[in-house]
């Protein structure tokens, strides 16, 4: 195993600058899938996507639309190797009140290895049929991931930086089968979105206790009115905000002790061609947290996906 | 003890099955469903009485048309004549609705009948959409056709 590189050293920055997801074995999969999706589902629509990486607002995928998303998470690691984790997300709007998703996770730990770390099945169900001051959405997720999973899509229980300092060969021997429940509470007022997501996770094997966590976020488009002309750089295409997330311990030891927490500015750029780019530098708030995270993502929405698939099986398009 | 295990291939199959169910659900859409127009009548009086603050804005219709193409044309048709999933917005019921009523419906959607909430669009953009909808001329593709 390579020795850790100091954050201030030239090698450290060279490693970041020369890294590319497309040179990695695991990075080729999203490219192939995206090209296939663009080929087979050329219809376009423009999404108004939120900038959050961890927090959810109450807006679901439009019915019949498929959003294909690729996200990255680079993290510094004290007493271990920095890593880059990534996930591919297929988000489908089954109805106006139900969105279902499949995640495929992987990670590269520098100087160690690149591995597939598991999958997640997620469902979000809108509970109320109209808009209210606070809008609740029920989130249910099944995870089958190895302990080498480092995407940090949520922070729960006593998740701390040291968990990620172990070599992949050891981490991947442990497996987690978990049920994760969240209550997504979200409110939009005068263009501002406020979201709070308390979460609870229950391992389905091993008898481990319930674990808890939270995420909260606030965001706003840079302009509230749309311009009359099609444009890529109009202020209304940018949504900026900040999110915060962390663990709250488990059932026997609920609280902030031995937990990690992050704050992260977020920005999304919604392009007229239905692509969305997201960027978020994240900062650990205590000694149990990774010092620095850099998340970025690219996504594209394919409207009419459900109708296209139905037409393959003799349904009406 | 029951051990839950799903291999990746099984997960993909499960997800595809869910998507097929979803596609079937999406097929049960509001297109041609006259009762969708009845949703307009459910707007509270206070909401229905709201005036469009962007009515004097000369760019509101053009901006609304852009937003309509981006967010609404997929279901309601490029010309708002109605599509497989959404009814015509040139129908008498829509054109005679007050701006406040249209704004209320855009904000709340008709979630049980397939129309999502559009409060994710900022208020001024929803009013721009209302300006565009009210600018549409009543056409032969109105409610008479959709009710058949």
Torsion of CA B67, B72, B76, B78, to 10 degrees: 40
For the question of whether the overall pTM of this predicted structure is more than 0.90, the answer is no
CB A50 within 8 A of CB A219: yes
How far is B5 from A310, CA to CA, in rounded Å? 29
Question: What is the per-residue pLDDT across B81-107, written as a single tens digit (0 to 9) for each?
Answer: 998 789 999 999 999 999 999 999 999
Q: Of the candidates A82, A139, A71, which has an alpha carbon nearest to the alpha carbon of residue A106?
A: A71
Give residue limits of the domains in chain B: 31-147
Tell me which CATH homologous superfamily contains domain B31-147: Cytochrome c-like domain (1.10.760.10)
Q: Could you tell me if residue A2 is inside a domain?
A: no
Residues 74-93 of B with CB under 8 A from A: 74, 84-85
How far is A294 from A75, CA to CA, in rounded Å? 6
Range of the domain at A174: 10-312
How many Cβ atoms are within 10 Å of B60's Cβ, its own excluded? 25
Q: Which residue of A has its CA nearest to B16?
A: A102
Q: Could you tell me if residue A186 is inside a domain?
A: yes
Asked if B120 and A226 come within 8 Å (Cβ–Cβ), the reply is no
Percent of chain A residues past pLDDT 70, beyond the cut: 84
Question: What is the per-residue pLDDT across A9-45, written as a single tens digit (0 to 9) for each?
Answer: 555 444 444 444 444 444 555 555 555 555 555 444 5
Q: How many structural domains does chain A have?
A: 1
Q: Which residue of A has its CA nearest to B24?
A: A310
* Reported confidence tier of residue B76, pLDDT bands at 50, 70, 90: very high
B31 touches chain A (CB under 8 A): no
Averaged pLDDT of chain A: 88
Q: Given this model, what pLDDT does residue A304 score?
A: 83
ipTM for this model: 0.82
Question: What is the per-residue pLDDT across A234-255, written as a single tens digit (0 to 9) for each?
Answer: 999 999 999 999 999 999 999 9
Provide the CATH number for the domain around residue A32: 2.40.160.40
Interface mutation target, options B66, B122, B123, B131, chain A, most CBs of A under 10 Å = B122
* H/E element, A212: strand A211-221
């Amino acid at each position: 195993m390579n020795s850790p590189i100091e954050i201030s050293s030239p090698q450290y920055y060279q490693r970041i600058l020369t890294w590319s997801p497309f040179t990695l074995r695991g990075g080729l999969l999203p490219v192939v899938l995206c090209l296939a999706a663009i080929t087979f589902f050329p219809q376009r629509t423009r999404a108004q996507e939120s900038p959050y990486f961890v927090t959810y607002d109450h807006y679901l995928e439009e019915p019949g639309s498929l959003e294909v998303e690729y996200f990255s998470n680079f993290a510094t690691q004290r007493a271990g190797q920095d890593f880059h984790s990534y996930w591919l997300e297929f988000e489908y709007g089954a109805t106006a009140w139900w969105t279902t998703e499949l995640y495929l996770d992987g990670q590269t730990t520098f100087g160690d290895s690149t591995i597939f770390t598991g999958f997640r099945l997620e469902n979000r169900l809108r509970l109320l049929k109209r808009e209210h001051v606070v809008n609740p959405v029920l989130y249910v997720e099944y995870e089958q991931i190895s302990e080498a999973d480092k995407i940090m899509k949520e922070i729960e229980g006593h998740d701390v930086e040291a968990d990620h300092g172990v070599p992949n060969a050891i981490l991947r021997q442990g497996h987690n089968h978990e049920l994760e429940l969240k209550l997504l509470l979200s409110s939009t007022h005068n263009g501002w979105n406020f979201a709070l997501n308390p979460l609870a996770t229950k391992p389905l094997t091993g008898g481990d206790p319930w674990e808890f966590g939270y995420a909260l976020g606030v965001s706003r488009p840079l302009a509230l009115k749309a311009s009359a002309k099609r444009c890529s750089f109009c202020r209304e295409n940018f949504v900026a905000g900040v999110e915060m997330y962390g663990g709250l311990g488990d059932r026997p030891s609920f609280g902030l002790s031995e937990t990690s927490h992050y704050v992260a500015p977020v920005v999304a750029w919604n392009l007229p061609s239905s692509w969305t780019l997201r960027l978020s530098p994240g900062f650990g708030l205590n000694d149990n947290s990774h010092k620095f995270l850099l998340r970025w993502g690219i996504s594209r929405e394919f409207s009419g996906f459900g109708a296209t698939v139905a037409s393959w099986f003799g349904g009406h398009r | 003890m029951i051990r839950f295990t799903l291999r990746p291939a099984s997960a993909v199959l499960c997800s595809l099955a869910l998507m097929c169910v979803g596609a079937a659900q999406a097929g049960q859409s509001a297109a041609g469903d006259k009762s969708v127009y009845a949703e307009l009548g459910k707007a509270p009086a206070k909401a229905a009485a709201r005036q469009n603050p962007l009515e004097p804005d000369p760019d509101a219709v053009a901006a609304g048309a852009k937003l309509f193409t981006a967010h609404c044309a997929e279901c309601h048709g490029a010309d708002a004549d109605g599509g497989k999933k959404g009814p015509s917005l040139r129908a008498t019921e829509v054109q005679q609705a007050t701006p406040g009523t249209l704004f209320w419906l855009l904000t709340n959607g008709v979630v049980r009948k397939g129309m999502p909430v559009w409060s994710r669009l900022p208020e001024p953009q929803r009013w721009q959409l209302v300006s565009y909808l009210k600018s549409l001329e009543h056409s032969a593709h109105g409610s008479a056709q959709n009710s058949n």
